[in-house]
Amino acid sequence: MHRLMCFVLVAVLGGSQAAFAQMQPHRAEYVLRLGAAANAPRIGTAIHDLSQDCAGWHLKRDITSEIALTASWKMSLSSKLDAREPRSGNSLRYETTQIQNGNKRETKGRVQRAQGELRAEIATSGAQPSQFFLPFATLMPVAAIDHLAERLRANATSFPALMFDPEVMGDGFLIDVTQLDDGRLRASRPLGKQVALPKGKSWPVSMSFTRGREQAQRPLFSVTAQVFENGVLDRLTVDTGMITVTADLQSLEMRPTPNCPRS
């Protein structure tokens, strides 16, 4: 359950590192609900904060939730991510702090693409550090969202991608993406004040997630979302087959892109 909640706002998908001009820094806050029904109970919030300087991207996420399935079964969860990704998309350094019902777990990780290899080094509190190799085509989180929009702009109706996920698994995901008809995406919920959505193109998509190094396994979960060409996501629905969690934009602040010299 806690891994599902951490995933709700994980940057989705993989791709080319030549289209960073399309991504735009922004801060988005989401309301999380348990279930897809219009009156589904609110269980928390998630903040996705993406900033940029001339060295690259700084991604911060803060998810808090509390779920009460019965009077005696309750779960509280908080998950924080602090990650740095250069403009090239060839590496990632990150820290996560996750607390479930008072139990704290901290992780520090580094992923580096060099000399034809993609190597991950991850250290989690209470466990032995791990080192392993990922498929070379695996993308970092920001490059992944950017590629998703790039492929959709190119009118791709379905495609696979590999993405490294620092929050849910600390490993790679294989993601199969399919464009949807507008009518197949969950309607947005009225949340009080109207959120000004980004201008420009957007696409409804469905994505299934499988362990990247165990591709013969069945998908772990599926996600539908509205994807805007500047990287903003809305109307997310995460379905594990057992439970469903949704995320809707509550506030959005778009930020200017820095004027950096070409390298």
Encode pLDDT of 142-172 as tens digits: 888 888 888 998 999 999 989 999 987 788 8
Higher-scoring residue by pLDDT: 71, 164: 164
> Measured between alpha carbons, how far is 229 from 21 in angstroms, rounded to an integer?
11
- Predicted local distance difference test score (pLDDT) of residue 146: 83
CA contacts within 13 A on the Cβ side of 37: 7
6 located within any domain? yes
Q: Categorize the per-residue pLDDT at 173 as very low, low, confident or very high, splitting at 50, 70 and 90.
A: confident
12 located within any domain? yes
74 located within any domain? yes
pLDDT tens string 208-223: 988 876 665 788 888 9
- Contacts by 123-130, CB closer than 8 A, 24 or more apart: 124/170
262 located within any domain? no
Q: Is 19 helix (H, G, I), strand (E, B) or coil?
A: coil
DSSP 84: E
Please state, for a pLDDT cut of 70, what percent of the chain lies above it: 87
112: which 2 tokens?
Answer: 């580096």
Neighbouring residues of 162: CB distance < 8 A, sequence distance ≥ 6: 14, 134, 135, 137, 138, 139, 172, 173, 174, 175, 212
- Predicted local distance difference test score (pLDDT) of residue 8: 42
> Measured between alpha carbons, how far is 64 from 68 in angstroms, rounded to an integer?
14
Residues in the chain: 263
CA 245 vs CA 5, 33, 40, 46: distances in Å: 8, 6, 9, 12
Res. 196: pLDDT tops 50: yes
- Predicted local distance difference test score (pLDDT) of residue 145: 83
> Measured between alpha carbons, how far is 88 from 260 in angstroms, rounded to an integer?
14
Q: Categorize the per-residue pLDDT at 32 as very low, low, confident or very high, splitting at 50, 70 and 90.
A: very high
- Predicted local distance difference test score (pLDDT) of residue 214: 66
Res. 189: pLDDT tops 80: no
Domain range enclosing 75: 2-254
259 located within any domain? no
For 103, other C-beta atoms within 10 Å of its C-beta total: 9
Tally of domains within the chain: 1
13 located within any domain? yes
* Average pLDDT of every residue of the chain: 84
Higher-scoring residue by pLDDT: 36, 5: 36
260 located within any domain? no
